Amino acid sequence: MAKKIYITTPLYYVNASPHIGHSYTNVAADCLARYYRQKGEDVFFLTGSDEHGQKIAQAADAAGKEPQAFVDGVVEHFESLWKLLNISHDDFIRTTQQRHVDVVQAALTRLKDEGKLTREAYNGWYCTPDETFWTPEELAKKTEDIENPVCPDCQRPLEAVQEEGWYLHLRESQEWLVNFLKKNPQWVRPESRYNEIFSLLKDDLPKYLCITRPKARVKWGIPVPFDPEYVTYVWFDALLNYLTATGYLVDQQLFEERWPAKMQIIGKDILRHHALYWPIMLHALGIPDDQMPECIFAHGWWKIGEQKMSKSLGNIVDPNVIVTVFLKEQPFAADVYRYFLMREVNFGQDGNFSEEGIETRFASDLANDLGNLVNRTLSMIDKYCDSKIPAVSEATLTDADKALQQSATSVAGQLDVLMPRLEFSKALEAIMDVVSQANRYIEEQMPWKLSKAGETERLHCVLRSLAETLRTTAILLTPFMPSVTQEIWRQLGFEGSVPELDQAAQWLKIPDNQSFTDHPVLFPRPKS
Q: How far is the CB of 266 from ligand ME8 (least distance, A)?
A: 5
Q: How far is the CB of 21 from ligand ME8 (least distance, A)?
A: 2
Q: Give how far the C-alpha of residue 139 lies from the chain's centroid of Cα atoms, to the nearest Å.
A: 32
Pick 301 or 340: Cβ nearer ligand ME8? 301
Pick 213 or 308: Cβ nearer ligand ME8? 308
Pick 13 or 332: Cβ nearer ligand ME8? 13
Closest CA to 10 of 124, 102, 131, 126: 131
Dihedral, CA atoms, 179, 236, 23, 417, nearest 10 degrees? 20
Please tell me whether residue 426 adopts helix, strand or coil conformation: helix
Q: What are phi and psi of 484, to 5 degrees?
A: -60, -45
- The sign one gets for the Cα dihedral 467, 471, 477, 483 is positive
Q: How far is the CB of 27 from ligand ME8 (least distance, A)?
A: 11
Output the residue with the shortest Cβ distance to ligand ME8: 21
Q: How far is the CB of 355 from ligand ME8 (least distance, A)?
A: 16
Closest CA to 203 of 225, 155, 170, 242: 170
Pick 300 or 390: Cβ nearer ligand ME8? 300
Cα–Cα distance for residue pair 204/155, rounded to 1 Å: 23
Q: How far is the CB of 33 from ligand ME8 (least distance, A)?
A: 16
- The sign one gets for the Cα dihedral 467, 470, 472, 474 is negative
Q: How far is the CB of 73 from ligand ME8 (least distance, A)?
A: 16
Q: How far is the CB of 13 from ligand ME8 (least distance, A)?
A: 4
Q: What is the 3-state secondary structure (H, E, C) of 10-32?
A: EEEECCCCCCHHHHHHHHHHHHH
Cα–Cα distance for residue pair 355/364, rounded to 1 Å: 14
Tell me the Ramachandran region of residue 171: left when phi exceeds 0, alpha when psi lies from -120 to 50, beta otherwise. alpha
* Residues near 411 by beta carbon (within 8 Å), at least 6 away in sequence: 430, 431, 434, 472, 476, 504
Beta-bridged to residue 163, according to DSSP, are 122
Pick 239 or 389: Cβ nearer ligand ME8? 239
Pick 220 or 301: Cβ nearer ligand ME8? 301
Q: How far is the CB of 430 from ligand ME8 (least distance, A)?
A: 24
CB atoms within 10 A of CB 99: 13
Pick 308 or 519: Cβ nearer ligand ME8? 308
Q: How far is the CB of 323 from ligand ME8 (least distance, A)?
A: 17
Q: How far is CA 197 from CA 203, 234, 272, 413, 525, in A?
A: 11, 22, 7, 32, 46
Closest CA to 347 of 268, 237, 240, 415: 268
Pick 262 or 308: Cβ nearer ligand ME8? 308
Q: How far is the CB of 97 from ligand ME8 (least distance, A)?
A: 14
Long-range contacts of the stretch 89-92 (C-beta < 8 A, 24+): 89/26, 89/29, 89/30, 89/33, 89/45, 89/46, 89/47, 90/43, 90/44, 90/45, 90/46, 91/44, 91/45, 91/46, 91/47, 91/48, 91/245, 92/46, 92/47, 92/48, 92/49
Pick 124 or 129: Cβ nearer ligand ME8? 129
| Residue 237 near residue 52, CB atoms below 8 Å | yes
Q: How far is the CB of 53 from ligand ME8 (least distance, A)?
A: 8
Instruction: Give the residue ranges of DSSP H helices in 386-497.
Output: 399-418, 424-445, 447-452, 456-477, 482-491
Q: How far is the CB of 168 from ligand ME8 (least distance, A)?
A: 16
Closest CA to 514 of 491, 497, 493: 493
Q: How far is the CB of 153 from ligand ME8 (least distance, A)?
A: 11
Cα–Cα distance for residue pair 449/442, rounded to 1 Å: 11
Cα–Cα distance for residue pair 444/454, rounded to 1 Å: 17
Cα–Cα distance for residue pair 5/293, rounded to 1 Å: 11
Q: How far is the CB of 491 from ligand ME8 (least distance, A)?
A: 34
Pick 12 or 167: Cβ nearer ligand ME8? 12
Pick 75 or 510: Cβ nearer ligand ME8? 75
Pick 22 or 519: Cβ nearer ligand ME8? 22
Residues of this chain that interact with ligand ME8 (CB under 6 A) are 10-13, 21-22, 24-25, 50, 238-239, 241, 266-267, 269-270, 301-302, 308-310
Pick 44 or 523: Cβ nearer ligand ME8? 44
Pick 10 or 493: Cβ nearer ligand ME8? 10
| Residue 446 near residue 66, CB atoms below 8 Å | no
